[in-house]
Amino acid sequence: MDLALEEGTSLEKNPGGPDGAGPAGKPRSLWSDAWRDLRRNPVFIISSLVILFLVIISIWPSLIASGDPLQANLDDAQKGSEPGHPFGFDPQGRDVYTRVVYGTRTSVTVGICSTLGVAILGSVLGGLAGFFGGWWDSILSRLTDVFFGIPVVLGGLVFLSVVTSSTVWPVVGFIVLLGWPQIARIARGSVITAKQNDYVQAARALGASNSRMMLRHITPNAIAPVIVVATIALGTYISLEATLSYLGVGLKDPAVSWGIDISAASNYIRNAPHMLLWPAGALAITVLAFIMLGDAVRDALDPKLR
């Protein structure tokens, strides 16, 4: 009797019931469970703090770097660290520390804008193909096969070699052009799986329109794989921009980019390795932070890991 009373009291104090249920006994959604797991994941916390710091200095680089990344003094060329210039100088006498800080803006802008473009375009095309099927699905499948056959670096050399702009937008456009097929295939498969669920069939039987089924029932349950892949791909897009800039077809002077600085410093690695190590290290940390974030989000959104 005492045990029964104690159990009843504990249930009154904890109306949420067993693990997996929310307040008043309501089951938690995938997103609430994922957020709960992410808050307990040290990988997510560390990578989020690093990314938050990168975003802040990309918006306000003057907070930690007061110099001009384009100011050059040939008398200081290839000099090492000295007071006020902790990272030394590049071959043109420009402050490496200032250029590394201002280069963050370029990398973060390319990564975020490319990911948004790829995710939106790929999700729309793949989602429509998975939902309607038929000839639309066949055309998209053959089109993605064509784009998958284009080598990314070779395509960048051909596509960007005729571009004279020094802004990030040609690079963003190229990444979106070649990056959307991956997201489209994932969105297509996710929508095909989601539309076979009972609640979608029930909504169809009740007369719900195609747009309502897509927006209210399918998209919220099919978007998780797209978010995971897009988050991981963001770091890849940043490294791709640096690679194209290193090859001379991405961003061009007077733009400030880690890829440009790595390319300029590659010929002086024996005499002045600091010119290469600092931008390469910043690039590696940035890419690693986004990949770690993507891995944490994947683990949180994958029901098989629960």
Q: Which residue range is the domain that position 199 belongs to?
A: 54-60+87-301
For the stretch 202-225, pLDDT in tens is: 877 887 777 778 878 788 888 888
Average pLDDT, the chain: 84
Q: What is the mean pLDDT of residues 106-133?
A: 91
What's the CA gap between 89 and 179, in Å, rounded?
36
Cα angle 293, 127, 151; round to 5: 65
In-domain check, residue 216: yes
The domain that holds 222 is classified in CATH as 1.10.3720.10
Question: Domain count of the chain?
Answer: 1
What's the CA gap between 136 and 210, in Å, rounded?
16
Q: What is the mean pLDDT of residues 55-84?
A: 89
| 80: confidence class by pLDDT, cuts 50, 70, 90 | confident
Q: What is the mean pLDDT of residues 190-196?
A: 86
In-domain check, residue 76: no
Q: What is the mean pLDDT of residues 74-97?
A: 89
Q: pLDDT above 90 covers what percent of the chain?
A: 36
Residue 237 CA to its chain's centroid (Å): 8
Nearest residue to 95 (alpha-carbon basis) of 284, 283, 280, 278: 278
In-domain check, residue 46: no
In-domain check, residue 124: yes
In-domain check, residue 22: no
In-domain check, residue 95: yes
In-domain check, residue 99: yes
In-domain check, residue 174: yes
